[in-house]
Amino acid sequence: MPTDLPTDPHAEPGPWREGMPHLLWRAQQAAQRRLQESLEDLGVTTTQLALAANIQDYGPLSAADLARALRLTPQSVTTAMNQLVEHGWLTRRPHPVHKRVVLFDLTPESAESLREGRLRAAELGDRMSRALAGDDTGAFLGQLRRIRDELEGDDPPVAPLWPERVDAQNRRT
């Protein structure tokens, strides 16, 4: 247990403000704020952009599929996905095999806005990379992945839990 914890609640800022959890939190908050500001005119949040990008990358998915893969609550993903439907980025349809499962897919109209959102996220990534000394971006990203893996383990796959069809021998595909 750290021994440098302050005992006086009015003490000057110390190790906490310079520690890894605090600095990662502040960096994440700053990045989230800047990305959200850049997406304002697209009418989506950072989370909504990430959900739409995953559907673009992996095809139609349910809110539960995305929640499991991204380690978010199903309720928050469902809320965000429903807002994307209202915004015209996504459509809903019943799963062809498991009718109670709702699949979300991109609308053709969302393609340009999603491309623009990804571009703005990449520009923010470039800005953050320029803040690193030298050419440390690859090493820094590797270190962040190791921290993530240490704290959470491997990411679950982004894949539908329920297959969309059953072949002639009643095997899921």
Query: Model confidence over 76-116: pLDDT tens digits?
Result: 999 999 999 999 999 999 988 888 899 999 999 999 999 99
Residue 133 falls inside a structural domain? yes
Is there a domain that residue 172 lies in? no
Decide if 141 is inside a domain.
yes
Residue 66 lies in a domain: yes
Residue 110 lies in a domain: yes
Within a domain: 101: yes
Q: What is the pTM of this model?
A: 0.81
Q: Please report whether residue 173 resides in a domain.
A: no
Asked if residue 169 has pLDDT above 60, the reply is: no
Domain-embedded: residue 102: yes
Q: What is the CATH number of the domain that holds 49?
A: 1.10.10.10
For 91, the domain range is 38-151
Count up the domains in the chain and report the number: 1
What phi and psi, each to the nearest 5 degrees, are found at residue 172? -75, 140
